[in-house]
Amino acid sequence: MKTAPELQNIPRDIPLTTDFAQKSQLGYKVTRSMARVLNASHMALAEAYINGLEIPDSLLQRSIHASMPVLFKHAPGVLAPYEWVLNETNRIAEGSRELMKVQYDLPQAMLNQMLGDWKLIYPKYSMGLWENGAVDLEESQKHMIDQVINRLGIEDGDHILDFGCGWGCVPNYILSKFPNVRFTGLNLSHEQCEYMRRKMQDPESYLSSGRFTLYEGDLNDAQFPEKFDKILSIGVFCHVGNLTQAFQKLASLLRSGGKVFIHIITVRIPNNFSSGFTHKYIFPNGRYWNYDAVPNHNQDLKTVQRWYINGTNYHQTAMTWLQRFDSSQETVKHLDYGMDYAKFRRMWRFYMLLLGTIFATSDGEYNGNGQYLMVHT
Ligand SMILES: C[S@@+](CC[C@H](N)C(=O)[O-])C[C@H]1O[C@@H](n2cnc3c(N)ncnc32)[C@H](O)[C@@H]1O
Query: What pLDDT is attached to residue 19?
Result: 59
pLDDT in tens, the chain (377 residues): 343 444 444 444 444 445 556 667 899 999 999 999 999 999 999 999 999 999 999 999 999 999 999 999 999 999 999 999 999 999 999 999 999 999 999 999 999 999 999 999 999 999 999 999 999 999 999 999 999 999 999 999 999 999 999 999 999 999 999 999 999 999 999 999 999 999 999 999 999 999 999 999 999 999 999 999 999 999 999 999 999 999 999 999 999 999 999 999 999 999 999 999 999 999 999 999 999 999 999 999 999 999 999 999 999 999 999 999 999 999 999 999 999 999 999 999 999 999 999 999 999 999 999 999 999 99
Report yes or no on 18 lying in a domain: no
Residue 348 forms part of a structural domain = yes
- Segment holding 282, helix H or strand E: none
First to last CA, the chain: 36
pLDDT at 12: 40
What is each CA distance from 247 to 165, 192, 237, 244, in whole angstroms? 17, 25, 11, 6
C-alpha 96 – ligand 1 centre gap (Å): 10
Domain that holds residue 238: 89-376
Locate the ligand 1 atom nearest the alpha carbon of residue 162 and give its number.
Answer: 6
The structural domain count of the chain equals: 1
For ligand 1, pick from 190, 239, 283 the residue to mutate: most ligand atoms within 8 Å of CB: 239
Dihedral pair phi/psi, residue 303, rounded to 5°: -80, 125
Residue 38 lies in a domain: no
- Within 6 Å (CB) of ligand 1, which residues are found? 93, 96, 99, 104, 124-126, 164-166, 169, 186-189, 192, 218-219, 234-236, 239
Q: Look at ligand 1, atom 9, and give the residue with the nearest C-alpha.
A: 124
Residue of the nearest CA to atom 5 in ligand 1? 166
CA distance 131 to 87: 34
CA 140 to ligand 1 centroid distance, Å: 20
Q: Are 212 and 239 in contact (CB under 8 A)?
A: no
For residue 68, being part of any structural domain is answered with no
The alpha carbon of 62 and the centre of ligand 1 are apart by a number of angstroms equal to 31
Nearest CA, atom 27, ligand 1:
166
Distance CA(364)–CA(310), nearest Å, equals 5
Taking the centre of ligand 1 as the mean of its atom positions, its distance from the CA of residue 53, in whole angstroms, is 32
Q: Give the three-state DSSP class for 307.
A: strand
Contact (Cβ atoms closer than 8 angstroms) between residue 228 and residue 159: yes
CATH of the domain at 159: 3.40.50.150
The interaxial angle of helices 137-152 and 312-326, nearest 10 deg, is: 140
pTM (predicted TM-score): 0.94
Nearest-angstrom CA–CA distance, 21 and 221 = 35
- H helix intervals, 282-327: 312-326
> Is residue 259 helix, strand or coil?
strand
Whether 57 is covered by a domain: the verdict is: no
Evaluate whether residue 178 is within a structural domain.
Answer: yes
Determine the Cα–Cα distance for residues 175 and 121; give it in Å rounded to an integer: 12
Query: What whole-number distance in Å separates Cα of residue 306 and Cα of residue 227?
Result: 24
C-alpha 214 – ligand 1 centre gap (Å) = 13
Structural domain includes residue 79: no
Residue 210 alpha carbon to ligand 1 centre in Å: 22
Where would I find the H helices in 24-136?
26-50, 57-74, 96-99, 108-115
Kindly state whether residue 77 falls inside one of the protein's structural domains: no
pLDDT for the residue 52: 97
At 24 the pLDDT is: 74
